Amino acid sequence: MRVLLVASPAHPMVARFTPTLATLAAQGCSIEACLPLSLELTREGIPHVALGDSELDAALRGLTDSDLLIAPLAGPAALGAVAHVIGRGAGAPLLLVDANDAGDLVGSLAMARDGGTVGTAVRERLIQSAAFALATVLAPAARGNDEFPERQLLLLERVRTFQHGENPHQRAAAYQHALRNRAGVLGAQLVQGSEPTLNDVLDLDAGARLVADLPIPSAALIRHTDPIGAATAETPLGALKRALETDHAAASGAIVALNTPIDRAVAVEIAGGSYEAVVAPGVADESAASALAARPDLRVLLYEPEHPQTHELIGLGDALLMQTADHGAIERSELRVVTERRPTLEELTDALFAWRVVRHVRSNAIVIARNATTLGIGAAQVNRRVAVDIALQRAGDRARGAVMASDAYFPFAEGIAAAAAAGVTAVVQPGGSRRDTAAIEIANRNGMAMVFTGRRHYRR
């Protein structure tokens, strides 16, 4: 078997291939390499034939399906060699560009020497790995610098498979952008419990994104990607207990998300509940880990927060929609008071908190909040007034003196009137409706304060 090595001597991956080359040489393979690599192979004691540039081209064209090309991608020679082999199709040699694939290949070659052959599945997997690596190198040039280029090349790596999809009869896997660091929930470390399901991952991601938008320490409870409750407090335990008070009955089976490491007090509280999983930046100490271990079925994931996205993708059948990311932070100075009464400092603080939370609730979305704690959440309603009613029903008597946040404007003033009747004293919303005047009149009539953000936060 001929083995041709084409690579740049400066490529760090070359050193990772030397054990494989040594093994192949010991098994009787003929190693050939370009002249710049000869010194490195000689230093490693690997017998080989050094080839000049013209000889290298001929050697590449002469490789058969019984031979092997090793070409870690860097420099025009390796790129050209890999493209040549991929383009040959039938009769192409084996192709190795990633040292992580070397073990399977060497094992397959050993079986072939015992009378078998290198299977089609192994050949296809190596070609796929090489084609993907080649596309990774070429992707930046293909994309260019346009924000929304005419042609978009997305490179995704499978990072997880699931027992099933959203429903048991569906198959599913998770993919992540190949050119980015594995942060966020898909890159999280599972330190306890079984692998999360696809539905768990959706909820874990929703929770991690929500608490990332809130001050430290904050906590959120999530089901079906919507928050059951969220809160900020002086301690992580205080935040968790406040979040739980929003809708205690819905918390069973929920996901807990924290933006601080899990300390012992929080661990004891979580282990004593019926939560499905918890996601946090870390576990504070061994005592916290021991408390979590009291519930071995509890999934515990530790994650590194993602850098803010610049763009996001929305699946549309077999197509994709792309848009700039919806970042929800807004400063107090950006709020426009539209009522006769200006909000108090406490109302402004709660309005900003509620506005951050409502961005993470599916539309139509309403959040009732006070003291940096959600009191009632109305999510995913086709009628905004119904979302108001649900949020007020969850809040009950606690709505008196609270603020209300809406992810979009009120098309009719009845939602404002219902909030006023329940004792809500301030409203934060985007504004922009043709009927804003009616909403402002209702607020003024009831002594409410209302501020417009000028920004909508639809979420599906």
pLDDT tens, residue by residue, 124-151: 888 888 888 888 888 777 777 788 888 8
How high is the pLDDT of residue 330? 86
Place of tokens 């999934």: 299
- As separate numbers, helices (DSSP H) first and strands (DSSP E) second, the chain gives 14, 21
pLDDT band at 317 (very low <50, low <70, confident <90, very high): confident
Average pLDDT estimate for 429-433: 95
How high is the pLDDT of residue 206? 96
What is the CB-side half-sphere exposure of residue 448 using CA atoms within 13 A? 29
Higher pLDDT, 168 or 17: 168
Q: Indicate the residue type of 344.
A: T
Domain segments of the chain as ranges: 2-141, 193-302, 332-452
How high is the pLDDT of residue 371? 97
Task: Name the percent of the chain lying above pLDDT 90.
Answer: 60
Round the CA-based radius of gyration of the chain to a whole number and report it. 29
pLDDT band at 99 (very low <50, low <70, confident <90, very high): confident
How high is the pLDDT of residue 328? 67
Which of these ranges, 311-315, 396-400, 431-435, has the smallest mean pLDDT?
Answer: 311-315
Give pTM, 2 decimals. Answer: 0.84
| pLDDT tens digits along 58-96 | 999 999 988 999 988 877 888 888 888 888 877 889 899
- Backbone dihedral angles phi then psi of residue 30, each to the nearest 5 degrees: -95, 115
Average pLDDT estimate for 93-119: 77
Class of the domain covering 193-302: alpha beta
How high is the pLDDT of residue 294? 96
How high is the pLDDT of residue 113? 66
Asked if residue 257 lies in contact with residue 226, where contact means CB atoms within 8 angstroms, the answer is no
Asked if residue 13 lies in contact with residue 72, where contact means CB atoms within 8 angstroms, the answer is yes
Q: Strand 189-192's sheet: what is its strand order?
A: 189-192, 299-302, 277-280, 255-258, 218-223, 226-232, 373-378, 366-370, 403-406, 426-429, 449-452, 336-337
Q: Span 2-141: which CATH code?
A: 3.40.50.1380
pLDDT band at 344 (very low <50, low <70, confident <90, very high): very high
pLDDT band at 403 (very low <50, low <70, confident <90, very high): very high
268 pLDDT more than 90: yes
CA dist., res. 410 & res. 416, Å (int): 8
Secondary structure class of 150 (helix, strand, coil): coil
CA dist., res. 81 & res. 69, Å (int): 8
Closest CA to 228 of 207, 209, 212: 207
CA dist., res. 394 & res. 244, Å (int): 12
Residue 452: other Cβ atoms inside 10 A = 19
| pLDDT tens digits along 167-223 | 999 999 999 887 777 778 998 999 999 999 999 999 999 999 999 999 999 999 999
Higher pLDDT, 19 or 271: 271
How high is the pLDDT of residue 149? 83
Asked if residue 102 lies in contact with residue 20, where contact means CB atoms within 8 angstroms, the answer is yes
Asked if residue 418 lies in contact with residue 389, where contact means CB atoms within 8 angstroms, the answer is yes
CA dist., res. 275 & res. 298, Å (int): 7
How high is the pLDDT of residue 169? 98
Average pLDDT for the chain? 91
Identify which of 36-45, 116-125, 174-183, 287-296 has the greatest average pLDDT: 287-296
Domain 332-452 coded CATH 3.30.70.520: no
How high is the pLDDT of residue 400? 98
116 pLDDT more than 80: no
115 pLDDT more than 70: no
How high is the pLDDT of residue 278? 98
Domains 193-302 and 332-452 share a fold: yes
